[in-house]
Amino acid sequence: MSITPKLPRPTQSDVEMQIHKKYPKSIHNLTTTKTDKINTSNKPTTISNIPIHSIPSKAERTLSKQFSPKPTIESRNYSEKQKPKHQILQLLSMEQKKSKQKQKPIEFKQEIVKFPPLNPIKKVEKSDYSKTAAFVNDIMKFKGLISDLSDDQKEVIELAENEISFFFSGAAGTGKSYVMKKLITILKELHPEQGSVAITASTGIAACNIGGTTLHSFAGIGLGDQSVDILYTKVIKNRTAFEKWRKVEVLLIDEISMISGDLLDKLNVIAQKIKRNNLPFGGIQVIFSGDFFQLPPVSKGKEVKFVFESKCWKEVIKKCVILHTQHRQSDLTFIEMLNNIRYGFVTKKTYEILQECQKRDLGDKKKTCLFSHRLDAENYNKRELLKLTSQQYIYNSCDVGLERNRGPLKECPAPEQLPLKLGALVMLLKNTQPEIGLVNGAVGKILRFEEVKVKHKENREQKDSYAADCNIKKGENEFYLNNKLFPVVDFGKGVIVTITPDIWEIESSGLIVSARIQLPLTHAWGLSIHKSQGLTLPAAELNLEKVFEAGQAYVALSRLQSLEGLKIVGKIPGAAAWKVNKKVLEFYKEIDNQFQEIEPSELYFNQNNTEKSEATTTSSTSMITNRGVTVIKINPTLLKKYSK
């Protein structure tokens, strides 16, 4: 009888050695970390330091189910009998085949802890930036920009900073132009990406004054009188215009009073389609500025529809701000008169002041005559220039940029051709040296012409671009215009300066698309009221007899700095010339909490018994309604031209 000898019970070291030889990586990769109190060594527990005969406790089994990976043969603990070596190796072989067939990542069953939602403001990783020197510098810079603003002006800046679409307005002297410059600077700081801020205006003159482009040019809609579908098709075919709409985040429109409500509705739809966003204006922040008591939109014989009458106005504009703080404290009587006329109130006191202005002699003051019609102003300037017998110098502007981008230059304040003579009365068109009074609208007299080297401190790219287009001689740091003689102008109070060429740049989507180089001067004997909008004049003669448009008389009077520089030429017009649009009046009553009515007994004109002739709201044909008959004043030059 043979006795089968019992195999010796394998020890832990024998098993480990065999496993290590056959599967050298399997043991080293099995490392798990336990946090149970049983393991007090704070060391990772591996299979090498677990006794092979040890029986896990209840606590260990519980932790193993919750936190440990699915145990393999290498990490398995046997409760009673240790399996023989060959069985262990067989199991290992089977386990290895399974792992090759289906390799699953180790899954840890962990309890998911739900945290409360984070505040999105705190979630943005800008906490470190708020402690840096750069942040402090930005705050100090921002405070410096708004330190000299009034409370209502600061509200404008705060709304822009909070990305709220709004409209702001104000009477003469409330600092609309000043806060506009601050606003543009801050918007470009908040949105530094190229093309994200579009600075536009309803007219070329207003656009040049703020360094932007016309709204029509930005939008790529031409005249904008076609249907919205046709205009949308036109925009998407114009790659430049389409890219402008796609990139823009903030759209600023100055002189919004001259934009019609129909056009605003069309632009709203175009923006929504291009942005693929049903929010008002496709989610673009829009900022409107202007005074609806000034010149209205061109209506071409139709009834005027203001932008606040558009379908989208209430959806787009979330806030209206009226500037009340007066910054012209030198002549409060004049300011009070302007505010009354702005609302259409000609009081007895106002009429007496206007009568005194008829008798006023401006003496040797450099004055400008304002006319209701442009042709009258041009003819007046020609007559005054012909009276001078000195030699004439003609300065032709230098327009640069692609031809298709030069459209806004036609309405640039600087003329394309400027004839000048010794003794000519001229007006400055730019703020060149405000500290000595050389601001937009300053009037002076030409004393002489002298040769001057013209230097433009522009960067090299701009300099080379201008020079190439204008055929200008280039130097390392300067370039010269072909004209070498420039006028020396006496602006009074001992301020005598030589006027050299300046540059008007037309910006679109952050790029300079065209520019005009010309002397920042124009003839100052006569201007149309439309051309004068946006200017500030030290002295002027006003001819209001032919006023045909609501707000035209107010625009003319509000150009003056003070009452001392105002002279009324001709008769004071009747009640019709001072009337304002009723829709505009009702609109401001709703948004202006400081609006005050004037007692009828204080008014000079009886509102219930006014003249039947009324100025209509059109600037293209000079329509006048008189006793129910419409009379169209046709331009005699055009009549003669087309009658041939």
The reply to whether 289 falls in a domain is yes
The reply to whether 621 falls in a domain is no
Residues 88, 158 within the same domain: no
CB 548 within 8 A of CB 372: yes
Outline where 508-592 has alpha helix (H): 529-532, 552-557, 582-591
Q: Which domain holds residue 319?
A: 143-323
Q: How far apart are CA 230 and CA 275, in angstroms?
A: 17
User: Please, what's the b/e burial string for 597-606 (b: 16 or more CB within 10 A of its CB; e: otherwise)?
Assistant: eeeeeebbbe
The reply to whether 580 falls in a domain is no
Q: How far apart are CA 533 and CA 434, in angstroms?
A: 20
Q: How far apart are CA 521 and CA 415, in angstroms?
A: 8
**For residues 545-573, average pLDDT:** 88
Instruction: Provide the pLDDT confidence category of residue 140 given band limits of 50, 70 and 90.
Output: low
235 has pLDDT over 70: yes
**What pLDDT was estimated at residue 50?**
45
> Percent of the chain at pLDDT above 70?
64
Q: Please write the tens of the pLDDT for every residue from 290-317.
A: 999 988 887 766 778 899 999 999 999 9
**What pLDDT was estimated at residue 12?**
57
Residues 448, 510 within the same domain: yes
Cβ neighbours around 384 below 10 Å, total: 16
61 has pLDDT over 50: yes
The reply to whether 281 falls in a domain is yes
The reply to whether 415 falls in a domain is yes
CATH number at residue 177: 3.40.50.300
Among 639, 611, 635, 638, residue whose Cα is nearest residue 625 = 611
**For residues 128-143, average pLDDT:** 57
The reply to whether 192 falls in a domain is yes
Name the more confident of 625 and 235: 235
- Stretch (H or E) spanning 339: helix 332-342
Calculate the average pLDDT of the chain.
Answer: 74
DSSP 410: G
Out of 347-351, 476-480, 482-486, 604-608, pick the least confident: 476-480
Q: Please write the tens of the pLDDT for every residue from 407-439.
A: 778 778 788 899 999 999 998 887 778 668 777
Residues 316, 433 within the same domain: no
Name the more confident of 324 and 51: 324
Residues 309, 220 within the same domain: yes
**What pLDDT was estimated at residue 511?**
72
> In the beta sheet, which residues pair with residue 485?
451
The reply to whether 498 falls in a domain is yes
Sort 104 into a burial class: Cβ within 10 Å, 0-12 / 13-18 / 19+: exposed
Residues 299, 392 within the same domain: no
Residues 288, 384 within the same domain: no
Task: Give the residue from 521, 537, 553 where a domain finishes.
Answer: 537
Q: Please write the tens of the pLDDT for every residue from 594-603.
A: 877 777 767 7
Residues 375, 494 within the same domain: yes
Outline where 191-227 has alpha helix (H): 204-210, 215-219
> Percent of the chain at pLDDT above 90?
30
> In the beta sheet, which residues pair with residue 542?
370, 568
**For residues 99-125, average pLDDT:** 48
Residues 404, 495 within the same domain: yes
User: Please, what's the b/e burial string for 480-501 (b: 16 or more CB within 10 A of its CB; e: otherwise)?
Assistant: bbebeebbbbebeeeeebebbb
Q: How far apart are CA 303 and CA 628, in angstroms?
A: 16
- Stretch (H or E) spanning 385: helix 374-386
**What pLDDT was estimated at residue 308?**
95
**What pLDDT was estimated at residue 17?**
64
CB 169 within 8 A of CB 308: no
Instruction: Provide the pLDDT confidence category of residue 184 given band limits of 50, 70 and 90.
Output: very high
Out of 41-45, 131-135, 530-534, 606-610, pick the least confident: 606-610
Task: Give the residue from 522, 537, 552 where a domain finishes.
Answer: 537
The reply to whether 110 falls in a domain is no
Residues 166, 42 within the same domain: no
Residues 319, 370 within the same domain: no
Residues 285, 196 within the same domain: yes
**For residues 141-166, average pLDDT:** 87
Sort 154 into a burial class: Cβ within 10 Å, 0-12 / 13-18 / 19+: middle
**What pLDDT was estimated at residue 530?**
81
Number of domains in the chain: 3
Name the more confident of 478 and 485: 485
Residues 88, 188 within the same domain: no
171 has pLDDT over 50: yes
Per the rule left: phi > 0, alpha: psi between -120 and 50, beta: everything else, 26 is alpha
Model confidence pTM above 0.85: no
Task: Give the residue from 300, 323, 346 where a domain finishes.
Answer: 323
**What pLDDT was estimated at residue 122?**
40
134 has pLDDT over 70: no
Instruction: Provide the pLDDT confidence category of residue 124 given band limits of 50, 70 and 90.
Output: very low
**What pLDDT was estimated at residue 224?**
87
